[in-house]
Amino acid sequence: MSLFDIKSRPRRSKRVSSTDVTVDPSRNLWLRLYTPTFSTAKPLPLIFFFHGGGFAFLAPDSKPYDDSCRRLAAEIPAVVISVNYRLAPEHRCPCQYEDGLDVLKFIDGGKCNEAGTVELKRSFVAGDSAGGNLAHHVAMRGGSHKFSSLDLIGNISIQPFFGGEERTASELELADAPFSTWKRTDIMWKLFMPVGSDRDHPAVNVFGPNGEDVSSVKFPPTVVFVGGYDPLKDWQRRYCEGLKRAGKEARVVEYENAIHTFYAYPEVPESDRFVEEVRNFVRDPIGFCSADQQ
């Protein structure tokens, strides 16, 4: 994978400036900060972004993620923080969740002067694929933590990576789809989970037999993006339904013709629609979720 993982340096463009900030060098925990360079009438929202890659690959400086975060920062607009968390199999669950929460604490503690003018009370977690799983568990931990300034008001869940021992209909029907076949995801789960765990571990099957009680946690409104050609789509729909059963605001946005990672390709029409939906959600998370029920 490293042969194909083209890296991008932090840089300043006409619309967005990016810089790298070290959080904890002992575990290579750092973040890439994206700040719009154009002026805005009021402070910007803050999005904590967690990249995908099956918990084992890629980083914030991987070109597809650098491009995606720069686009979100410019077009939402928002300040975006992309987190470099520890990777499996050298570092297994829950290291990644701990890293994610520690970055939130780092920003809440005012230790990132480069963050500029942001409205910490309008903070979001976001992530794609494995990063969507990570965003959920960071939000769970964040809901039990008392921040001094930061408030999580939304979860942007982009084709999140969830699973279980069961084989869903979409996993079987789309067994030859690109990127996220069940044979491949089984390997990624095995590398990520604590040794001896099965796929009904609460990190994987969040609303399964061993899942944590979400209803008792302060959990933000959530938008779940689903692709019609993603083998994980049944688990993603169940995730949204599980949040609703727990009394949380949640909504599915589904693109019938989209594959896993469709948002990384600006050439496809669903990519533009995705950015527009994220923009609408960031403006009014509760209203966006409630519109699905009207």
129 is catalytic: yes
- Say how far apart CA 93 and CA 190 lie, in whole Å: 11
Determine the Cα angle at 158 with ends 111 and 235, to 5°.
125
Burial class of 68 by CB neighbour count within 10 A (0 to 12, 13 to 18, 19+): buried
- Candidates 102, 136, 260, 271; catalytic one: 260
Q: Angle 95-108/130-143 helices, nearest 10 degrees?
A: 60
Distance CA 117, CA 276 (A): 23
Active-site hit among 66, 99, 108, 230: 230
Catalytic residue from among 129, 170, 180, 271: 129
C-alpha dist (Å) from residue 172 to 147, 182, 218, 231: 43, 8, 35, 8
- Tell me how far apart the alpha carbons of residues 3 and 185 are, in angstroms, rounded to a whole number: 21
Q: Which of 179, 168, 152, 180 is nearest to 249 (CA)?
A: 152
Is 230 one of the annotated active-site residues of the chain?
Answer: yes
**Active site positions, annotated:** 129, 230, 260
